[in-house]
A and B are shown apart, each in its own frame.
Chain A
């Protein structure tokens, strides 16, 4: 078994299993904690709870007016690497081909040039985030192992992915055979590392953010406060 066969076979199965089971375990574990019913009457005229939750989930995508200065750096850098990661993962033609082989779904790809730009911006943004985490007194104080591990497993697929790119994606896909097996295996293994870490660290916020914002939205909506 070659390294690529290992990465595409048993390693992928294990990584996806840990990702799915771990994510469900954590999510169900949290959602099954005891609920304290709120018996206070809602503010007169308050919209239904689901409206409050929805507003908080969507409204949390951008900072409130009075806070926009306070969150300028973290906000802009956050947008860059989140959008960049999404573009690279969902927009790059070989990634779409990978997903199609895996689950049969596909969608139109974005041009390679956009992908290269997005990947570069994401890498720079992640490097800046790392430097700030190491130097900012607040971030230094509140950072732990999870922050470093999460940074590494997020950065590695980007970094190893750049090492695989040697030609336009259309040429790669038309060839229908892998010529850089080693680097591709390493790239795939780095993604699998991310999947394995996902349920255990803060990457899980990709799932939890909606529940967390929604819970606060419900609480404040009940009181007549829009968040």
Chain B
């Protein structure tokens, strides 16, 4: 596979490390990721290029550099030189060149701007290579090297200081009090004991407090003993997206340890995809055992409440189509849960041409929505989703991830498209039946 610096540089740097130190740091970060599954996947590629046809960035632009497996090239080379079974031979004969700082800088765009870690490529790969997971591993090395898009690095610094990208923990009670007053709903904060620890996505603590209020409305309706808590409230784990493992662990522990402290049995995650990926599937790695609490996504909670009859909802009785958030459906397994809630709401569901586990990403996952540098690329991807939504002729457009919703709303604004993207949670809360 050829490696040449052919594109206009689009990279940022953090810290004062020299170039050699950055390369060494990247290599150390990469090597840490070479477990048995990563090794199997890096060894199995036959360079068929089929993954390109699954990637929204490649499909939207036609550019070869967005081929998913190509995004892994520095990671693959690090593996071949440092960890593959023939690594000593590879190094001795100089079969694979050591990575250069220029190559790592060039790949920043491919690893952060043009990969949402949505895993659609994983499903199409005839070798079953989980490319999305490998990109996530590759980000660990890039973060160590201080080669992260500056906007994401800024959020990382905020989260390291505050425990959230949105606000310091000590401001949480004021934010919740304002949201409670604005939406006329009670939102408990910092209760010393509760059954459910409720968490939020950063946007819900700023512009989208309606989602917070919607969650409160449903929880209060079922009479749950719940609270939000300044010890752990922001579930959108920026460390997970950026490749900052230390921060990922801190943010994860903040949620789980707070839940344990207040005696909660459940951590309820917001409508956020990567929060689900980080907490539901990866939290256990920091504890070395199964968690003492149950971690569930808002969609699961709504599904359980409706299925058990603890809440009833009014029938809306219109046509709707649904955008499947990648981390919740393709990589999370909640395809059926969201559809059961939609059916309960009385929607006639008209599926997108690509839906369920093979649905296209919104284009903003994996931190891409926050990475302003990637905005033009994201808008191209949005056009694909827009066309698929329009083709259904459905009146309503619903999703169950706040980050997807923000991405789609920004795309719609740019494209002067008047279709609103609605939250499944807010639809339930707005249509609670007595």
Is B40 in contact with chain A by the CB < 8 A criterion? yes
Known: A26-B43, A67-B54. A36 touches B124 (CB 8 A): no
Q: Which residues of A contact B49 (CB under 8 A)?
A: 74, 136, 138-139, 142
Instruction: Please pick, from A25, A33, A142, A223, the residue contacting B281 in the complex, using a CB distance under 8 A.
Output: A223
Q: Which residues of A contact B85 (CB under 8 A)?
A: 25-26, 28-30
Within 8 A of B (CB), among A187-213: 200, 202, 204-205, 208-209, 211-213
Known: A26-B86, A212-B128, A217-B128. A227 touches B123 (CB 8 A): yes
Is A169 in contact with chain B by the CB < 8 A criterion? no
Interchain CA distance A63-B281 in the complex, whole Å: 27
User: Please, what's the 1-or-0 string for A105-123, where 1 marks a CB less than 8 Å from any CB in chain B?
Assistant: 0000000000000000000
Instruction: Please pick, from B35, B47, B281, the residue contacting A202 in the complex, using a CB distance under 8 A.
Output: B47
Known: A33-B36, A66-B358. A212 touches B41 (CB 8 A): yes
- Cross-chain contact B70 with A215 (CB below 8 angstroms): no
In the complex, residue of chain A having the shortest beta-carbon distance to the beta carbon of B276: A223
Instruction: Please pick, from B39, B46, B357, the residue contacting A225 in the complex, using a CB distance under 8 A.
Output: B357
Q: Which residues of B contact A217 (CB under 8 A)?
A: 128
Known: A33-B83, A71-B124, A211-B40. A39 touches B48 (CB 8 A): no
Q: Which of B193-201, B327-335, B417-425 contacts A (4 or more CB under 8 A)?
A: B327-335
Known: A70-B50, A138-B64, A141-B2. A213 touches B83 (CB 8 A): no
Within 8 A of A (CB), among B27-52: 34-41, 43-50, 52
Chain B nearest CB, measured from A212 CB (Å): 4
Interchain CA distance A75-B354 in the complex, whole Å: 20
Within 8 A of A (CB), among B47-97: 47-50, 52-54, 58, 64-65, 67, 69-70, 83-86
Chain B interface residue number, banded: 35 or more
- Cross-chain contact A215 with B54 (CB below 8 angstroms): no
| Binding site secondary structure of chain A | helix
In the complex, residue of chain A having the shortest beta-carbon distance to the beta carbon of B95: A145
Interchain CA distance A67-B290 in the complex, whole Å: 36
- Cross-chain contact A216 with B54 (CB below 8 angstroms): no
- Cross-chain contact B123 with A67 (CB below 8 angstroms): yes
- Cross-chain contact A140 with B331 (CB below 8 angstroms): no
Is B126 in contact with chain A by the CB < 8 A criterion? yes
In the complex, residue of chain B having the shortest beta-carbon distance to the beta carbon of A41: B290
Is A183 in contact with chain B by the CB < 8 A criterion? no
Chain B nearest CB, measured from A16 CB (Å): 19
**A-B residue pair count with CB separations less than 8 angstroms:** 180
Q: Which residues of B contact A78 (CB under 8 A)?
A: 48, 126
Interchain CA distance A64-B123 in the complex, whole Å: 8
User: Please, what's the 1-or-0 string for A14-46, where 1 marks a CB less than 8 Å from any CB in chain B?
Assistant: 000000000001101111111111111101000
Interchain CA distance A66-B122 in the complex, whole Å: 14
Is A161 in contact with chain B by the CB < 8 A criterion? no
User: Please, what's the 1-or-0 string for B312-337, where 1 marks a CB less than 8 Å from any CB in chain A?
Assistant: 00000000000000000011111100
Is B130 in contact with chain A by the CB < 8 A criterion? yes
- Cross-chain contact A209 with B44 (CB below 8 angstroms): yes
How many A residues face the partner with a CB closer than 8 A? 61
- Cross-chain contact A74 with B283 (CB below 8 angstroms): no
Interchain CA distance A29-B84 in the complex, whole Å: 7
Interchain CA distance A158-B122 in the complex, whole Å: 33
- Cross-chain contact A74 with B48 (CB below 8 angstroms): yes
Interchain CA distance A205-B83 in the complex, whole Å: 18
Q: Which residues of B contact A40 (CB under 8 A)?
A: 280-284, 290-291
Is B288 in contact with chain A by the CB < 8 A criterion? yes
Instruction: Please pick, from A64, A75, A219, the residue contacting B130 in the complex, using a CB distance under 8 A.
Output: A219
Interchain CA distance A190-B46 in the complex, whole Å: 21
Q: Which residues of B contact A216 (CB under 8 A)?
A: 41, 122, 128-130
Chain B nearest CB, measured from A134 CB (Å): 13
Interchain CA distance A204-B44 in the complex, whole Å: 8
Q: Which residues of B contact A25 (CB under 8 A)?
A: 85-86
- The residue among A37, A39, A65, A204 with the most chain B CB atoms within 10 A of its own CB is A39
Interchain CA distance A219-B58 in the complex, whole Å: 26
In the complex, residue of chain B having the shortest beta-carbon distance to the beta carbon of A43: B333
Known: A144-B1, A212-B129. A67 touches B124 (CB 8 A): yes
Is B162 in contact with chain A by the CB < 8 A criterion? no
Instruction: Please pick, from A141, A200, A205, the residue contacting B64 in the complex, using a CB distance under 8 A.
Output: A141
Interchain CA distance A39-B285 in the complex, whole Å: 6
- Cross-chain contact A213 with B128 (CB below 8 angstroms): yes
Interchain CA distance A118-B65 in the complex, whole Å: 36
In the complex, residue of chain B having the shortest beta-carbon distance to the beta carbon of A30: B39
Is A224 in contact with chain B by the CB < 8 A criterion? yes
Known: A144-B2, A200-B86, A224-B333. A64 touches B36 (CB 8 A): no
- The residue among A25, A137, A141, A215 with the most chain B CB atoms within 10 A of its own CB is A141
Q: Which residues of A contact B45 (CB under 8 A)?
A: 202, 205
Chain B nearest CB, measured from A175 CB (Å): 40
Is B127 in contact with chain A by the CB < 8 A criterion? yes
In the complex, 24 of the A-B residue pairs with CB atoms within 8 angstroms, ordered by the A residue number, are A26-B85, A30-B39, A31-B40, A38-B284, A40-B284, A63-B124, A64-B124, A66-B353, A70-B124, A74-B49, A78-B126, A136-B49, A138-B52, A141-B64, A142-B70, A200-B86, A204-B43, A209-B128, A212-B128, A213-B128, A215-B36, A223-B281, A225-B331, A227-B128
The 3 residue pairs across chains A and B that have the minimum distance between CB atoms: A29-B85, A39-B284, A224-B333
Q: Could you list 6 further interchain pairs (A-B, Cβ under 8 angstroms) beyond the known A31-B40, A35-B36, A71-B53?
A: A40-B282, A70-B54, A71-B124, A71-B126, A139-B49, A140-B64
